[in-house]
C-alpha cells in the first residue's frame, strides 16, 4: 500500500507519487497503466513522480496512461510545483525542476499558504525537424507539411507537437485526425496534435490530442505550441489567451515561452497493489 495525490490543471489530471524518501519497487510503465485506468485504478491522464535531483531542486518524471514516458508536461509540472510548495517540501517562491526536456524555472504567485498561479519558463521552441523529430524529406519543406490534406506545423516544446489550424473546432473529427497525425510515419516518436481556431489577435481556441492518451481537456505544452505557431504566422499578438476544454492558459512568447496558469488538488489517497 502506498500514498498518492490526485491533482488537475485546467482539466488535465495526474497522479503524483513522492519518490523523495521511498523508492517503490514497481515498473513505472505498469504502475502508470494501472493507476491511470479510470475503471480499475485511480484514473488520470498521467502519472508524475517527484524525485531527488543532483542538478535542480527536484526531478519530475511523467508517464502517459499507456505507460510511455513523456519528455515534458506543462500542466503536469504546474501540478508538481504546487504540490512541492503546499506539501512544504520547499519554501521558496522560485525554484527549478529537472525534466527530460531540461531544467525548468518555476515562479509561484502565493496568497497566504496557497499557490494560486504558476509561471513556467518553458524554454525555446525547436523548429529543426531533425530535433522534433520529423522524417519529412520533401525539398519544398517551409515549416509545414501536409498530412491527408491537412496543413501541419511540427515543432518541439521539449516534446513533439503538430499544430493544425481549422475554421471551426466543432466541425473537426478530433479522434480521426488526432490518431492519424499522432501515429503518422513522419513522426518516429509519435506526436501530440493541436487543432487551433483563431478567435482574434489575443485569443485562440484549442483542442488537444495527446500522444499516448487521446483527447484531453488541456495540455500545457500543446497550448505553448499552438501559441508559438499562431504568433509565428502573424495571426496573433503576444500575451495570448488559450481557451481549452478544461480552462484557460496564458502564453507569453518572446525570447522564451512563458506558460502561466493554475493547478488544483483533487484528493490524497492510498492504494494497494
**Which residues participate in catalysis according to the annotation?**
73, 219
C-alpha cell at position 246: 478544461
C-alpha cell at position 73: 508536461
C-alpha cell at position 123: 524554454
Q: How many CA atoms does the CB half-sphere of 219 hold within 13 Å?
A: 35
Cα angle 256-64-5, degrees, rounded to a multiple of 5: 90
- In sequence order, which residues have a C-beta less than 8 Å from that of residue 99 and are 6 or more positions away? 59, 60, 62, 71, 72, 77, 158
Q: Which H or E run contains 86?
A: helix 74-86
Cα angle 190-137-178, degrees, rounded to a multiple of 5: 30
Q: Which of the 8 DSSP states describes residue 68?
A: P
What distance in Å separates the CA atoms of residue 77 and residue 81, rounded to the nearest whole number? 6
CA 221 to chain centre: 4
The length of the chain is 273
Amino acid at each position: 500500500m502506498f500514498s498518492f495525490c490526485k491533482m488537475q490543471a485546467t482539466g488535465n489530471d495526474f497522479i503524483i507519487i513522492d519518490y523523495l524518501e521511498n523508492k517503490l519497487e514497481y515498473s513505472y510503465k505498469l504502475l502508470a497503466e494501472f493507476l491511470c485506468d479510470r475503471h480499475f485504478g485511480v484514473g488520470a491522464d498521467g502519472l508524475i513522480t517527484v524525485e531527488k535531483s543532483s542538478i535542480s531542486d527536484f526531478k519530475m518524471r511523467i508517464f502517459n496512461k499507456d505507460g510511455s514516458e513523456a519528455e515534458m508536461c506543462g500542466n503536469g509540472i504546474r501540478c508538481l510545483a504546487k504540490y512541492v510548495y503546499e506539501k512544504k517540501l520547499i519554501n521558496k517562491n522560485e525554484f527549478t525542476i529537472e525534466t527530460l526536456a531540461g531544467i525548468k524555472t518555476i515562479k509561484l504567485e502565493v496568497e497566504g499558504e496557497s499557490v494560486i498561479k504558476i509561471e513556467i519558463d518553458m524554454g525555446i521552441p525547436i523548429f529543426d525537424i531533425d530535433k522534433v523529430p520529423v522524417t519529412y524529406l520533401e525539398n519544398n519543406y517551409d515549416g509545414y507539411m501536409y498530412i491527408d490534406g491537412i496543413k501541419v506545423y511540427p515543432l518541439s516544446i521539449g516534446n513533439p507537437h503538430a499544430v493544425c489550424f481549422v475554421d471551426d473546432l466543432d466541425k473537426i473529427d478530433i479522434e480521426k485526425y488526432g490518431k492519424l497525425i499522432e501515429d503518422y510515419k513522419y513522426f518516429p516518436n509519435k506526436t501530440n496534435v493541436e487543432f487551433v481556431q483563431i478567435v482574434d489577435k489575443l485569443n485562440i481556441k484549442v483542442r488537444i490530442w495527446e500522444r499516448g492518451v487521446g483527447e484531453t481537456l488541456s495540455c500545457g505544452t500543446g497550448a505553448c505550441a499552438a501559441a508559438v505557431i499562431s504568433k509565428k504566422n502573424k495571426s496573433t499578438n503576444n500575451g495570448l489567451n488559450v481557451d481549452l476544454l478544461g480552462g484557460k492558459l496564458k502564453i507569453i512568447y518572446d525570447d522564451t515561452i512563458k506558460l502561466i496558469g493554475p493547478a488544483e488538488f483533487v484528493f490524497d489517497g492510498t492504494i494497494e497493489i
